[in-house]
Structure 1
Amino acid sequence: MSMPTTPATLDRFITPAHQALWAATDDFATQEILPRVDRMESAPQRVNRSIARSLAGRGWFGVTVPEAFGGMQAGHVAKTILIHRLARVSGAAAAILQAGLIPVTALDYYGTEDQRTTLMPGVADGSVLMSIAVTEPDQGGHIGGMHSAAEWDGSAWVLTGIKAHVGNSHIANLHVVIARTAPPGTRTSKALTAFLVRANQRGVDVMRHTGKLGLRGFSFGQISFDRVRVLPENVLGEVGQGFDVAQSSSILCGRPNLSAVSLGLHETAVSLTGQYVSNRPRYNGKLADLSVIRERLGRMSARLITARILTYHAVDMLDRGLSCDAELIAAKSLGHDLASRTGNDAMELHAANGLDADYPLQRVWRDMQTTYAPAGTGEVQRRRLAENLLEEEAGTKARTPYSVLHSRPHAAPVTDQTVSI
């Protein structure tokens, strides 16, 4: 296995162990994921289950799981490398991994010792694949408008509702479900509770998978819960703490994960376009000889460098235990915006060929569209950044998702960057 040359801009974030993981992921993506891409693209109505098994076989769903439970305990930079390098080859494969890692964060930080001891080894060896179900069909990411509810009947919580856009909805065997448990009028921050629900429980129904614009092979569909009984020992965190579970997991895991997906797709769009214009005849030379084309390539390259630095800077801060809500939000929001602009430039430079299924760019462009809404749209992200700025100017210190999560007893920055590949 040859060791790749990682970009010099990442030298301050990348250790030799990270470089080895980078190489292993590239080899895996080329040998095991790339051959499946065409099949996934040709069957948008089908869920790919084999990729999750392959990722589980490498132990990569356990990249952030403590070693005490059989995980890699490799940190967020390592996790970002996995998602980023997979996304270069397949946005769907990267999405399968990143979606499975978000609820792992929730379990690690909010789970009881019994829950962690029982479930974390299965996460590490791939036998427990998790999802997190927050979004609803009519409310989207507006957590405060959630309709799903759970009522206490004296011995168990009875959960009813519908969740939408659940990553790995059709292949996960354990769902973290956020539902309302307080009466109307209760503040959202105290009104919700997180529950651990097995996919095979009575009343859990995964609705038929339908193809989406992008990420073909990845399921992010609807799950209905019809009077599902959840015992008290399967409450994740405390009753009334569901908002914190959802928010902190989204900020500290979902947003950097999506930044990594955007980054991998962004990188591929730049690479494909460079190859295309370098080989496309025009006049007495190639398209790349034209100054107007080089000017656009230059802008695409600058955007990619910016997105790469911001993404890895944010997760490095997270690994070092530094407060980084704003950096994570900016990495997700700006990372998508920069990739989207590059994707549009790439499509225009490919002209009509960009629309042709024989050219992989149209797949990359479609996959890019899927990273905008999850974990907060661009408008939501910019509003959060503005709030952070105004609080700093006013000299106030808000209760942030970072501070909430890192007040948990299991919280600790990653100091040992040993990565097992």
Structure 2
Amino acid sequence: MSSVLTPDQILGVDSVFAKEDLEWAGIVRKWLDENVREKIGDWYIDGTIPARELAEGLGELGVLGMHLEGYGCGGATATQYGLACRELEAIDSGLRSLVSVQGSLAMFAIHHWGSEEQKEEWLPRMAQGKAIGCFGLTEPDVGSDPAGMRTYAKKDGDDWILNGAKMWITNSPVADVAVVWAKTDEVDAKGKNVVRGFVVPTNTPGVETPVIKRKISLRASITGEIVLDNVRLPASAMLPKAKGLRGPLSCLSEARFGIVFGVTGAARDALEAALDYTGTRIQFDRPLSSFQISQQKLAKAFGQYASITLLAAHIGKIKDEKGVMPEQISLGKMVTVDTAMNICRDLRALFGGSGITSEYSPLRHAVNLETVLTYEGTHEVHQLTLGRAMTGINAFAN
């Protein structure tokens, strides 16, 4: 029998990423293996996750807002953050979503667009996991076209009055603070109402965050709404540096970067699980891994995994060295999520009937990735974004 190499050994992952970055990823993986891995299947079946307990643990580990500078944040590189997301999503997309929403949406919005007072009030506690944040952009009738949002913020003296509703908001039922985007009375040069962001403590009168139930995908994640009924906020609640859709879209681009890396973790975990199962499951007096069709499936999945890992590493390098373009993030999300989902689907078949249980991860990953394919810009939106970049023609317009 030939010697056995892991997928990452064949890929030569130690030549793809720096030694210190892989050591950091190993620390994250060890913590997750010790504290989360054995429990995630039950959380998925139960449709919940102990968000507050995990947030504090992840805060102590140092992954919440780790790529931000100051205010208790780690100041890590983009690649280091990406590798942390990779380990988180190797456990479950819901876990990576908790961290992404906290660090790359809510914390990034405050860090990049907020006042000094907002930063000092929220970021240290959020970095420690002592406060949980959420990000309110998507609405019940407005997904891919944020310019069509109906949530409205009206001036009343020095205060703002917010009314509206946000939908599909990760963490909202357990959040202490929500970053909410709304149209205002202010009009831009084109005569359109200017979008502004607001830092909204969820205990503010008029704020409700009901949970969304009956999810089939991303079940180990707490998802809800943000309902705003005449919510009065002081002038200091507005993010002073964000004007227009550039604010929320910059946050989405930051979160998408974590997805680009994260889904490679789901693919790796599915591949590792399939290799372990087929190596020990006996059929016709032979391990499943000894059959040509099994090896064909495993080799195909490995090739796909290798390609998306290299793409993620390339985008991370660009982001660290010179800054990444939104189109490059769209390329990453479009390719890595779709490919990872297909890897997990294909490998599920190697488990036979056992593959539909929560004991094994590939189907859970595949079902979760259906959600990841949709949020932070649907697969089709990223296709059109790249089409526009390559042709100069905006296919979004009528």
Query: So what's the TM-score if we normalise by structure 1?
Result: 0.84
Distance 1:183 1:110, change over 3 A: closer
Where 2:174 maps in the other structure, the secondary structure is coil
Where 2:265 maps in the other structure, the secondary structure is helix
Corresponding residue number in structure 1 for 2:165: 162
Structure 2 CA distance for aligned equivalents of residues 5 and 273 of structure 1:
12
- In the alignment, residue 275 of structure 2 is paired with which amino acid? G
The 8 Å contact of residues 159 and 226 in structure 1, kept in 2 or not, is answered as yes
Shift of 1:376: 0.6
Shift of 1:288: 2.0
Distance 1:186 1:216, change over 3 A: farther
- In the alignment, residue 65 of structure 1 is paired with which amino acid? L
The 8 Å contact of residues 146 and 179 in structure 1, kept in 2 or not, is answered as yes
Shift of 1:373: 0.9
Corresponding residue number in structure 1 for 2:305: 304
- In the alignment, residue 125 of structure 1 is paired with which amino acid? Q
The 8 Å contact of residues 9 and 309 in structure 1, kept in 2 or not, is answered as no
Q: Equivalent residues in 2 for 1:240-319 (5 A)?
A: 241-251=243-253, 253-319=254-320
Structure 2 CA distance for aligned equivalents of residues 70 and 191 of structure 1:
32
Structure 2 CA distance for aligned equivalents of residues 186 and 210 of structure 1:
42
Q: Equivalent residues in 2 for 1:8-407 (5 A)?
A: 9-11=12-14, 14-44=17-47, 48-67=51-70, 69-101=71-103, 102-182=105-185, 191-238=194-241, 241-251=243-253, 253-391=254-392
Superposed CA offset, 1:369-391 (max 9, x none): 22111111111001111111224
Where 2:217 maps in the other structure, the secondary structure is coil
Shift of 1:153: 1.4
Structure 1 CA distance for aligned equivalents of residues 235 and 13 of structure 2:
45
Shift of 1:70: 2.3
Shift of 1:209: 4.2
- In the alignment, residue 74 of structure 2 is paired with which amino acid? M
The 8 Å contact of residues 197 and 239 in structure 2, kept in 1 or not, is answered as yes
Shift of 1:6: 6.7
Structure 2 CA distance for aligned equivalents of residues 341 and 217 of structure 1:
21
Distance 1:20 1:293, change over 3 A: closer
- In the alignment, residue 271 of structure 1 is paired with which amino acid? E
Where 1:195 maps in the other structure, the secondary structure is strand
The 8 Å contact of residues 278 and 288 in structure 1, kept in 2 or not, is answered as yes
The 8 Å contact of residues 108 and 116 in structure 1, kept in 2 or not, is answered as yes
Q: Which runs of 5+ in 1 are unaligned?
A: 395-421
Structure 1 CA distance for aligned equivalents of residues 211 and 183 of structure 2:
25
Aligned residues: 386
Structure 2 CA distance for aligned equivalents of residues 30 and 307 of structure 1:
23
Where 1:375 maps in the other structure, the secondary structure is coil
- In the alignment, residue 65 of structure 2 is paired with which amino acid? G
- In the alignment, residue 100 of structure 1 is paired with which amino acid? Q
Where 1:60 maps in the other structure, the secondary structure is coil
Deviates more, 1:201-210 or 1:343-352: 343-352
Q: State the percentage of identical aligned residues.
A: 20
Structure 2 CA distance for aligned equivalents of residues 155 and 40 of structure 1:
45
Where 2:28 maps in the other structure, the secondary structure is helix
The 8 Å contact of residues 86 and 265 in structure 2, kept in 1 or not, is answered as yes
The 8 Å contact of residues 347 and 354 in structure 1, kept in 2 or not, is answered as yes
Shift of 1:238: 4.5
The 8 Å contact of residues 56 and 128 in structure 2, kept in 1 or not, is answered as no
Deviates more, 1:310-319 or 1:372-381: 310-319
Shift of 1:9: 4.7
Superposed CA offset, 1:161-203 (max 9, x none): 1101112112221111011114799869863111110111111
Distance 1:160 1:112, change over 3 A: same
Shift of 1:47: 5.5
Shift of 1:222: 0.9
Superposed CA offset, 1:219-254 (max 9, x none): 121110111112222111347x14111111111x12
Superposed CA offset, 1:56-79 (max 9, x none): 222321302313x22210022111
Distance 1:97 1:273, change over 3 A: same
Where 2:374 maps in the other structure, the secondary structure is coil
Query: So what's the TM-score if we normalise by structure 2?
Result: 0.89
The 8 Å contact of residues 100 and 167 in structure 1, kept in 2 or not, is answered as no
The 8 Å contact of residues 204 and 225 in structure 1, kept in 2 or not, is answered as yes
Shift of 1:15: 3.0
Distance 1:5 1:344, change over 3 A: closer
The 8 Å contact of residues 315 and 324 in structure 2, kept in 1 or not, is answered as no
Distance 1:139 1:187, change over 3 A: farther
Where 1:152 maps in the other structure, the secondary structure is strand
Distance 1:306 1:5, change over 3 A: closer
